[in-house]
Structure 1
């Protein structure tokens, strides 16, 4: 083989390698969010109710924040479009009226959402979601008597992003708004509606199957 031919072959080989390298992104998101795939996530989520929680028993109500373990499952009905279920371990919230602590409650807020993951063709993938939240309250406690908080249905919206770290794993940060209102009663008498309407912030690891 002549020197010139060797140079041509070498140049062709280098060019092929460069072309193949440039053609494939560092992490291909097309398969990560493909139709038929499942994503399971585990992390932590903070539920922070809005500052003005309405008037209950003639006084301004205040609901405290709490952090718990979060679990998510998402099934992709089409590329980049998934149906997600959010679950968590129970949240424990302090309740104050007129600035004085009067009790506490626990709640679970399962939320079903439809998410759209923007096809960025890279490691960073933002998404938006819209769905419905169901919140159930239990273990209400107060020294004033028997406190009951009704379950709640409401809309939920989310905004977040994934940072893909492997072919099957990603780190996720997301923020959600939940419309949560509950009618309260004390010793069987209605005392008002608590408007919780929290903003939640979550961090989790997502694994694709």
Structure 2
């Protein structure tokens, strides 16, 4: 009976060891949490084909739920793919455009967009209580809807951009961790529409969005 009990105990210990080893060696992991998006836009704007000096736009900051799936190529290099629940930002007048309020309301329109961010990261430390990483990648902005404001028939093009990334993981155990991640992006898109309050004059803007994204939450290794 004692031999059976000992064998059973050894079996449990072996199973636990295999489970722990699998948790440590699995190449797949997941980040999930909240992303805060803040824009620093600039715009080259023309109305009826004429440049508008000192024209500007402001975009409201967003918060949205996001996930990132990662696959470790080795102990330092990882491939990542981040996705977010599509947020909506409001475009507002700034610079010389603000002098046109009224007759404009100051709200040019809204943009609902879906971000997709593939990247490659490199871990600076593979052990220890804090494990920082850096990376670079691409950002694809899929425009889903553009409700009108002062700009009627507003259209914003889908766009690709570049991403610089830095963050760190703080392991809580072999599976769970907490993380903080920051990304600086460069995205250029084109927006068009007509200004109803100014007699339907056509508007075209080349917009550099330059968003900064702060992403924080829980990590899990499969």
Using the size of structure 2 for normalisation, the TM-score is: 0.74
Aligned counterpart, 1:87: 83
Aligned counterpart, 2:211: 198
CA positional deviation for 1:134: 0.7
Is 1:39 aligned to residue 29 of structure 2?
yes
Aligned counterpart, 2:138: 132
**Alpha-carbon contact 1:183-1:190 (below 8 Å) kept:** no
Structure 1 runs (4+) greater than 4 angstroms displaced: none
Aligned counterpart, 1:26: none
Aligned counterpart, 1:55: 44
* Deviation digits for residues 129-151 of structure 1 (CA, Å, limit 9, x no counterpart): 11111111121011432111111
Using the size of structure 1 for normalisation, the TM-score is: 0.78
Change (3 A) 1:162 1:88: same
Aligned counterpart, 1:68: 64
Is 1:149 aligned to residue 156 of structure 2?
yes
Q: Distance in 1 between matches of 2:28 and 2:160?
A: 26
CA positional deviation for 1:119: 2.5
Q: Distance in 2 between matches of 1:78 and 1:108?
A: 30
Q: Distance in 1 between matches of 2:81 and 2:119?
A: 7
Q: How many residues align?
A: 177
Is 1:77 aligned to residue 67 of structure 2?
no
SS at match of 2:207: strand
**Alpha-carbon contact 2:90-2:107 (below 8 Å) kept:** yes
* Deviation digits for residues 47-96 of structure 1 (CA, Å, limit 9, x no counterpart): 1011x422334331111110000111000111221100000001110101
Gaps of 5+ in 1: 1-30
**Alpha-carbon contact 1:55-1:194 (below 8 Å) kept:** yes
> In the alignment, which of 90, 108, 117 is matched to residue 111 of structure 1?
117
Q: Distance in 2 between matches of 1:112 and 1:162?
A: 19
Aligned counterpart, 2:166: 159
Q: Distance in 2 between matches of 1:126 and 1:40?
A: 16
Gaps of 5+ in 2: 1-22, 47-51, 99-105, 195-201
* Deviation digits for residues 157-202 of structure 1 (CA, Å, limit 9, x no counterpart): 1010111111111100010011111111115x56021111101111
